[in-house]
């Protein structure tokens, strides 16, 4: 109550809030659809290239190196979350090594959780170990598996990383969205600023989009035997 009278939201405020919420949901749906579509197209493109050119197939032996990124990110997060970075942040100090560790840990799209980053670091090691076995061990050697799929430690570890990465993207989906802006409602000089801000926002999200698509595509290519085995167990594929 203000001045003895009850104050309520006007119908205009309610409509504005509803429209803003609807616009936000539309941006999220559009972003998820865009990242998914780009990833699917990238997977088909990579598959087509590797099947057409035999020389490109040698490139596949370098794919497991993506595990290095997750190992570095996971260890960096554990360092920045519990080490000097947290203490320095509380006291307003800076440390080059701790700050660099924090920047590395934020490079991959994972949920900010110690367990998640620890699991990602272990799975990254699994991808590297599996890739080493695949590249240097005899063809007849059977790689150990983690998930009982007989796909090997490399594919199983990549499947774990793929799931963690997708979950991280969905959890932080607002970081990949750009504001549609209210350009149409601005009719003065501020409209130019609104257009510029909108374009700047979109350009700023392009690296995040590209990284998300590259990571998902690469992990899917490595983890596809594991997902195919799961499909067989569930009767989805034969």
Q: Is the pLDDT of residue 174 over 70?
A: yes
Per-residue pLDDT, 137:
81
- Contact partners, residue 170, CB within 8 Å, separation at least 6: 32
Q: In this predicted model, what pLDDT tens digit does every residue of 5-50 receive, in sequence order?
A: 554 445 555 654 554 555 577 888 888 899 999 999 999 999 899 8
Per-residue pLDDT, 200:
44
Q: In this predicted model, what pLDDT tens digit does every residue of 93-152 receive, in sequence order?
A: 455 655 666 666 667 888 888 899 999 999 999 999 998 988 888 777 777 777 777 788
Q: In this predicted model, what pLDDT tens digit does every residue of 54-85 receive, in sequence order?
A: 777 778 888 899 999 999 888 888 877 654 44
Helices (H), the chain: 11-52, 54-57, 66-82, 84-91, 96-105, 114-136, 153-171, 190-234
* pTM, entire model: 0.74
- Contact partners, residue 234, CB within 8 Å, separation at least 6: none
| pLDDT band, very low/low/confident/very high, at 190 (cuts 50, 70, 90) | very low
Closest CA to 127 of 107, 151, 103, 102: 151
- The residue with tokens 């197209």 is 41
């Amino acid at each position: 109550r203000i001045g003895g009278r009850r104050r309520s939201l006007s119908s205009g405020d309610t409509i504005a809030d509803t429209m803003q919420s609807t616009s936000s949901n539309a941006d999220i749906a559009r972003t998820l659809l865009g990242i998914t579509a780009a990833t699917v197209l990238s997977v088909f493109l990579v598959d087509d290239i590797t099947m057409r050119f035999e020389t490109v197939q040698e490139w596949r032996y370098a794919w497991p190196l993506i595990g290095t990124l997750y190992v570095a990110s996971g260890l960096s997060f554990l360092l920045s979350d519990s080490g000097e970075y947290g203490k320095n942040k509380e006291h307003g100090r800076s440390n080059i090594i701790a700050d660099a560790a924090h920047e590395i840990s934020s490079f991959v799209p994972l949920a900010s959780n110690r367990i998640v980053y620890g699991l990602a670091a272990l799975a990254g090691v699994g991808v590297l170990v599996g890739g080493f076995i695949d590249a240097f061990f005899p063809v007849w050697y059977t790689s150990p598996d983690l998930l009982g799929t007989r796909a090997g430690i490399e594919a199983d570890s990549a499947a774990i990383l793929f799931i963690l990465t997708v979950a991280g993207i969905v959890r932080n989906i607002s970081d990949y969205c750009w504001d549609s802006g209210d350009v149409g409602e601005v009719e003065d000089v501020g409209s130019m600023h609104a257009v510029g801000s909108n374009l700047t926002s979109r350009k700023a999200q392009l690296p995040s989009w590209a990284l998300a698509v590259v990571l998902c595509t690469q992990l899917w290519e490595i983890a596809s035997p594991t997902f195919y085995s799961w499909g067989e167990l569930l009767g989805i594929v034969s």
